[in-house]
Amino acid sequence: MAKTQDFNAIMKDFMGAFPVDTSSMDEAFKTQADLGEKLSAVAIDAAEKSAELTTKWTKDTLSKITELSKAKSDPADYAKAMTDFASAYAEMSAENMASFAEIAKKVQTDTVELMMAAGKDMTEEASAAVQKATKDATTAAKKASTSN
């Protein structure tokens, strides 16, 4: 009977012939985790500010509705109260939408800055990894040529 080859041993020998330096992978993981943490902080800060703004807007609206819902002695006062409410609500809406836009603008600016910094870091890490790999390959090639 024919004996089957042990492919596990062949793969083990094959992979052992190509040692892998995982330090660059470790650095890439750390960089990615760091970026994720910073981006999360930006998103959480924006969510907090948006929640505060929404709460304030709701409270202001409810106080205006309280005024609107009070009984009036003259029917014309109801029309005036409704007009005053609509005017105040339009003004509040414009102010609050501008505030939401400022929050979004800050998120966009912070995100772009983080991505630019991360790109710079990744480029530097990749460059260092390529330089190290080139050096290691050169050293291995020199050893191989001198041993022949």
Section 78-101 average pLDDT: 95
Is residue 24 predicted with pLDDT exceeding 70?
Answer: no
Please give the residue that has the higher pLDDT: either 27 or 19.
27
Q: Which pTM does this prediction carry?
A: 0.65
The 10 Å CB-count burial string (b at 16+, else e) for 15-44 is eeeeeeeeebeeebeeeeeebeebbeebee
Q: pLDDT: is 35 or 17 the higher one?
A: 35
Question: What is the per-residue pLDDT for 60?
Answer: 95
> How much of the chain, in percent, has pLDDT values that exceed 70?
90
**pLDDT of 20:** 66
**Phi, psi at 110, each rounded to 5°:** -65, -40
- pLDDT per residue over 70-80, tens digit each? 999 998 999 99
Q: Break the chain into its structural domains and give their ranges.
A: 43-126
Q: Does residue 2 carry a pLDDT above 90? A: no
- For tokens 């992979």, the residue is 15
Q: What is the pLDDT of residue 121?
A: 76
Residue 131, pLDDT score? 80
